[in-house]
Amino acid sequence: MATAMPWKARVLTLYPAMFPGPLGQSLAGRALSEGRWSLAVVDIRDFARDKHRTVDDTPCGGGPGMVMRPDVLAAAIDETVAAAQAEDPAVAQQPLIYFSPRGRRLDQALVHEVKAAGGATLLCGRFEGVDERLLDARPIVEVSLGDFVLSGGEIAAYALIDAVVRLLPGVMGAEESGTEESFADGLLEYPQYTRPQVWEDRAVPEVLLSGHHEKIAAWRRDQAEKITAARRPDLWESYRRRKPAGKN
């Protein structure tokens, strides 16, 4: 019987030394060395066609900065995906993501989709970004980390990979920490407390020390709803639409 391959990220970057970087530490780092996920890092510059290993050129029409060439990027993508697919046919179904401020905003739903796909190919831009024709010519999904501009896609790749890896089987200590946390049910997380029981005259809420599991669960649900309503009206609205009042 064929065993499923561990979740795999293929990262295309001009800065391969940035990987695994932070993903080599803590939870993700331990999981990487345990083989619960794997990482292939591809140096885009290896696919340049001239002796200067050029990957970018000036923008047509003028303007500041440089633009990444479509021919070099397409060669890097095509060879990477073809090689991966030869090892694992499932790669054909896995997303090809270009990190870009114009993309779909990364959220927990997208993290679950990328996890379920079994892996992803991640293109990290630099300079002013990539030639638009590349985005039209390949089945690329653009993903944004948020409404701000990074100097490169690598930090967005860290974020996506980290968010996926912590959900993989055996990576987090307690399985529940994945199901109870923020966004799991459309709400932000309830407040957490630990020892000391009183700190700077502030006591841990009594109910949490009661040992009464139902009351604790009800209190946490109530807090999660209050915090979500106050801080994220957008999440609160869709939560309420899915879950009519009074039906808990």
Measured from the CB atom, is 132 or 237 closer to ligand SAH?
132
Q: Closest approach of Cβ 199 to ligand SAH, in Å?
A: 37
H/E element, 198: strand 198-199
Measured from the CB atom, is 32 or 73 closer to ligand SAH?
73
Per CB under 6 A, 213 contacts ligand SAH: no
Binding mask 152-171 for ligand SAH (x = CB under 6 A): xx--x---------------
Computed on alpha carbons and rounded to an integer, the radius of gyration of the chain in Å comes to 22
- State how far the Cα of 6 lies from the Cα of 37, in Å rounded to an integer: 5
Q: Closest approach of Cβ 105 to ligand SAH, in Å?
A: 9
Measured from the CB atom, is 94 or 100 closer to ligand SAH?
100
Measured from the CB atom, is 156 or 187 closer to ligand SAH?
156
Per CB under 6 A, 150 contacts ligand SAH: yes
Closest CA to 4 of 103, 116, 166: 116
CB atoms within 10 A of CB 191: 13
Tokens of 109: 């739903």
Measured from the CB atom, is 29 or 101 closer to ligand SAH?
101
Q: Report residue 73: phi and psi, to 5°.
A: -65, -40
Using the contact rule CB under 6 A, the part of the chain among 6-14, 80-88, 121-129, 188-196 near ligand SAH is 121-129
Per CB under 6 A, 91 contacts ligand SAH: no
Cα atoms found within 13 Å of the Cα of residue 182, Cβ hemisphere only: 12
- State how far the Cα of 168 lies from the Cα of 35, in Å rounded to an integer: 11
Q: Report residue 165: phi and psi, to 5°.
A: -60, -40
- State how far the Cα of 155 lies from the Cα of 178, in Å rounded to an integer: 23
Q: Closest approach of Cβ 106 to ligand SAH, in Å?
A: 8
Q: Closest approach of Cβ 145 to ligand SAH, in Å?
A: 4
- State how far the Cα of 106 lies from the Cα of 172, in Å rounded to an integer: 21
- Tell me which of 23, 73, 121, 129 binds ligand SAH, using CB under 6 A: 129
Site of interaction with ligand SAH (CB under 6 A):
99-102, 124-126, 128-129, 144-146, 148-153, 156
